[in-house]
Structure 1
Amino acid sequence: MTASSLSPIPLAAVGALRFGHWTDVEAGTGCTVIVAPHGATGAVDVRGGAPASRETDLLKPENTVQEVHAICLSGGSAYGLEAASGVARELEARGIGLDVGVACVPIVCSSCIFDLAFGSATVRPGVDAGISATRAALDSDPDIPLAEGCVGAGTGATVGKLNGPDRAMKSGLGARAFKLGGLRMGAIAVVNACGDIVDPATGHTIAGMRAAPDSLQLDNMEDAMLAAGAQMEMPLDRTNTTISCLVTNARLTKAEATKVAQMAADAYAHVIRPTHTTNDGDTIYVLATGELEGPTPPLDLIGLVATRTLEAALVAGATEATALHDLPAARDLI
């Protein structure tokens, strides 16, 4: 990613969007909300085999709902979907949503990661957490950068779990944004992958499966899978998911936004190894505000910018994390 192509910008500079967290560090869980107060074209791409989600069918191009008002990324496994109800309540109270004549109905889509194996298995983001995250998004100073690492939905995120939780590593939430001409693109990624995290710019593994519970040396998880052969087992079955939201000022239809989400899924393959497994519920949302002035760039170019932006956010999800609940983070490695 060169300075002559993509230029870094603050996430808040992408468009008319707001961002907020609710975090419980002790329990190792949280939620993150992306609010589109004026609505945005939404889309989703689901590649993993074990997703936990809400209202994703509304984002299919053939469905008639055209605007989304918030995306809620949450911990708590499927229990965390309850946080989206809190988001909807707070948006309704502020008059943000779809006017159906007799009521205001916010369109809130949500996906969750499994974080119950680290911290507390009984504390999950609920309605109050969704309300708090939404208030943080709408009432905080938008010029303050969104916190990254072990915050919000990334609080309980972990990676490198083939050989059990005691050889995993801590990861978290990453957020990055770039511009190319008038096009602006941002990404928020909650990195809770089964696999290792590789920086595609260098090819180096930056977080993943450790050689031993007391080790800060990394093993290559894909090599370990091949070596195990038919005896390979997954001790944390269906407990991994990387969930992301791309935000852009581009003018996109639902079908075009869906294609951007599909193209951006390449970022998962570039950074997470292996990815899209039966134990991951990998999901990517897109919110397009349509604020771009001038001609819209070619769709394939928008998809490429989305992919590069999401790569940066995924890497940041590992590099911005800190040690928590006896698990080291990338910054702790030798």
Structure 2
Amino acid sequence: MIPGPSDSITDVAGVRVGQHQRLDDHVIVATDDAAGEGWATGTTVVLLPEGAVAAVDVRGGGPGTRETDLLDPSNTVQQAHAIVLSGGSAYGLAAADGVMTHLESQGIGLAMDKRGSVVPIVPGAVIFDLSVGAWSARPDREFGAQAAANADTSVAVGSVGAGTGAQAGALKGGVGSASITFTTGPATGITVAALIVANPMGAVIDPTSGLPWGALPLELDYYGLRQPAPGEVANLLNLTAKSNPLNTTIGVIATDAALDPASVRRVAMTAHDGLARAVRPAHSPLDGDTLFAFATGSATPTPGPDETPQVPPGMNPDVALVAAVGEAAATVVQRAIVNAVIAATPVGGIPTYRETLPTAFVSG
């Protein structure tokens, strides 16, 4: 497996990402005794190619979601046209209304009649970022409409879009993305990618090494990281954790494989393994960890003659492909979370990983 050309979710053909945020120069994080000030929030939209089959898996105990029941493989509608990730907690779900309006104006959605009337299917999930800035500063339908209008194949990461006000434990969180293309095995030629908004209560950094939990030793070159100086590692103990227990890591996994709805849901389920590798603890009772997944079916695997597994009668003939895609989904989720933390820039005085451990970066 190798990273895709841009190492982002848009390496899956036909996928576009749009983001919109408002970030004031002066932002104050709220405390128990004082209200926050300023704007530091946003919305990220993933636009899906026509015909993409979608599913979702919710693991957190306090999710903020929209249209997740519709994505159950046993229900009638099994496609989506866009997936919205937003700040603003439950208020931020309003951003999806703007995405629907934008898609409707483009004639995109489920066809309802011969006159061209459509209903776009737009599931979504939100993070809690209301304590970063003013409580009333949160995304609305205009954020969603603007994010959808901004959609293209380039993906900005870090403190942008839905990750603008995100926190990752005691550090600044954000938006991250990653992709993988198979070069061997039953999924040869297939691409799997993820876009994640990292806003966990759990720690993303190992306090003993100073490296991200998800940055495995053999992958440090991929991230551009190295073992940081001991004095900087000690600084981690002085950081103050989030002032509230509300958090969430949300995201989208994409693949160009052709999978049925049940298999896509299996991919979403397996992708949570990557979240658990990169965040400790994950899936707590007060977070809303939610991962969407979709399959476009635009690519056909091309395994070698000795790489096509024999599937016993009565089993899903795509079982080996689904297993491979699920494994890759966990890896890209893990990488996207690390990439989000690495790319984050300061907001409201929340320390970033680069500020706290600058010697961890090979580039200085």
TM-score by length of 1: 0.84
Please give the alpha-carbon distance, in whole angstroms, between the structure 2 residues aligned to 1:182 and 1:9.
13
Shift of 1:68: 0.4
Map 1:1-334 to 2 at 5 A.
5-10=1-6, 11=8, 12-26=10-24, 27-101=39-113, 103-137=117-151, 140=152, 142=153, 145-160=154-169, 168-180=170-182, 181-197=188-204, 198-202=213-217, 217-219=235-237, 236-237=244-245, 239-294=246-301, 298-334=321-357
Q: Secondary structure at the match of 2:123?
A: strand
Shift of 1:279: 1.7
Q: Which has the higher strand share?
A: 1
Please give the alpha-carbon distance, in whole angstroms, between the structure 2 residues aligned to 1:261 and 1:200.
21
Counterparts in 2 of 1:196 and 1:294: CA distance versus 1, 3 Å: closer
How many residue pairs end up in the alignment?
298
Shift of 1:219: 3.5
Equivalent pair of 2:4/2:11 in contact (CA under 8 Å): no
What is the percent sequence identity of the aligned residues?
Answer: 39
Counterparts in 2 of 1:48 and 1:259: CA distance versus 1, 3 Å: same
- Structure 2 match to 1:231: none
Give CA-to-partner distance per residue, 1:2-27, whole Å, 9 cap, x none: xxx33333232312111110011121
Shift of 1:293: 2.2
Equivalent pair of 1:169/1:328 in contact (CA under 8 Å): yes
Please give the alpha-carbon distance, in whole angstroms, between the structure 1 residues aligned to 2:342 and 2:268.
24
Give CA-to-partner distance per residue, 1:147-176, whole Å, 9 cap, x none: 00000000010022xxxxxxx221111011
- Structure 2 residue runs without a partner (length 5+): 25-38, 183-187, 205-212, 226-232, 303-317, 358-364
Please give the alpha-carbon distance, in whole angstroms, between the structure 2 residues aligned to 1:82 and 1:287.
22
- Structure 1 match to 2:311: none
Counterparts in 2 of 1:216 and 1:95: CA distance versus 1, 3 Å: farther
- Structure 2 match to 1:165: none
The one-letter code sitting in structure 2 at the alignment partner of 1:7 is: P
Equivalent pair of 2:49/2:296 in contact (CA under 8 Å): no
Q: Secondary structure at the match of 1:284?
A: strand
Shift of 1:305: 0.8
Please give the alpha-carbon distance, in whole angstroms, between the structure 1 residues aligned to 2:168 and 2:355.
14
Q: Secondary structure at the match of 1:108?
A: coil
The one-letter code sitting in structure 1 at the alignment partner of 2:135 is: A
Shift of 1:287: 1.5
Equivalent pair of 2:127/2:248 in contact (CA under 8 Å): yes
Equivalent pair of 1:174/1:313 in contact (CA under 8 Å): yes
Please give the alpha-carbon distance, in whole angstroms, between the structure 1 residues aligned to 2:216 and 2:175.
19
Q: Secondary structure at the match of 2:63?
A: coil
Counterparts in 2 of 1:124 and 1:262: CA distance versus 1, 3 Å: same
Shift of 1:37: 4.0
Equivalent pair of 1:37/1:96 in contact (CA under 8 Å): no
Shift of 1:43: 0.6
Shift of 1:217: 1.5
Q: Secondary structure at the match of 1:277?
A: coil
Counterparts in 2 of 1:216 and 1:113: CA distance versus 1, 3 Å: farther
Equivalent pair of 1:183/1:292 in contact (CA under 8 Å): yes
The one-letter code sitting in structure 2 at the alignment partner of 1:184 is: T
Equivalent pair of 1:216/1:333 in contact (CA under 8 Å): no
Q: Which moved more, 1:116-125 or 1:264-273?
A: 116-125
Please give the alpha-carbon distance, in whole angstroms, between the structure 2 residues aligned to 1:39 and 1:90.
18
Structure showing greater radius of gyration is 2
Q: Secondary structure at the match of 1:19?
A: strand
Counterparts in 2 of 1:220 and 1:269: CA distance versus 1, 3 Å: farther
Counterparts in 2 of 1:294 and 1:65: CA distance versus 1, 3 Å: same
Equivalent pair of 1:200/1:270 in contact (CA under 8 Å): no
